[in-house]
Chains A and B, each alone.
Chain A
Amino acid sequence: DAGVIQSPRHEVTEMGQEVTLRCKPISGHNSLFWYRQTMMRGLELLIYFNNNVPIDDSGMPEDRFSAKMPNASFSTLKIQPSEPRDSAVYFCASSRQGGGREDEQFFGPGTRLTVL
């Protein structure tokens, strides 16, 4: 079975450019999470979708960040305009149900973003 798929795996862009990260969750999962990993802050939750609806976007750092989930099999995280401090690894994860202590989150391989 395919796991969570993320693209691109690596992205290098210049400050001010728009960046779009993509995620395909595991089929049948109805929860999707976007995380960011940095040296300073570790892994932190950016936004959580359930049944394609954004439930909690309190972790989105600024208005430059936006996320969408137009259908159950696709989500995007967009940064516009990008800044060097956005450089990080961005992970997408999905889970079968609506979260919960025993609802395992399955992570994708991540997108390493470098903003010059």
Chain B
Amino acid sequence: DQQVKQNSPSLSVQEGRISILNCDYTNSMFDYFLWYKKYPAEGPTFLISISSIKDKNEDGRFTVFLNKSAKHLSLHIVPSQPGDSAVYFCAAYGGSNYKLTFGKGTLLTVNP
């Protein structure tokens, strides 16, 4: 039973355009959400996070939006760059301080 779902296995965008990666969750206990980025042959690295008391968090080209009523969050990358090509994982905390629940990831390809 996937509590964090990333329904798009892959996404392809042109350099300079916006990339939007989506994530849905089912567990109402989740109160903190994170996005991780993963390059081939490397481990995931933290990208950006958002608390459930906020609906938006921005860090440079990366913005995460949270819609609690819809149990949906999205990651916007503007403008997209070829170096952004990676797998992006959505993850969530809820009920414990250490257990991260991950989605299966979305492969983003940014074409030059």
Which residues of A are at the interface with B, using a C-beta cutoff of 8 A? Answer: 4, 31, 33, 39, 42-45, 48, 50, 55-56, 91, 93, 98-110
Contacts and interface: CB of A to CB of B under 8 A. Distances in A.
28 contacts: A31-B98, A33-B98, A39-B104, A42-B2, A43-B44, A43-B89, A43-B91, A43-B104, A43-B105, A48-B99, A56-B96, A56-B99, A93-B43, A98-B98, A99-B97, A99-B98, A99-B99, A100-B97, A101-B93, A101-B97, A102-B49, A103-B97, A104-B46, A105-B46, A106-B45, A106-B46, A109-B42, A110-B42
Interface in B82-105: 89, 91, 93, 96-100, 102-105
Contacts of A99: 96-99
Given A42-B105, A101-B32, A107 B43 contact: yes
Contacts of B91: 43
Main secondary structure of the interface of B (DSSP, over half): loop
B51 interface: yes
Nearest to B38: A107
Given A4-B43, A93-B43, A107-B45, A43 B98 contact: no
- What are the 8 tightest A-B residue pairs by CB atom distance, in nearest-first order? A99-B98, A107-B43, A42-B104, A43-B102, A99-B97, A101-B32, A100-B97, A107-B44
A55 B51 contact: no
Contact of B43 (A100, A102, A110): A110
Chain B interface residue number, banded: 20 to 34
A39 B100 CA distance: 18
A9 to B, nearest CB: 8
A25 to B, nearest CB: 12
A91 B99 contact: no
B41 interface: yes
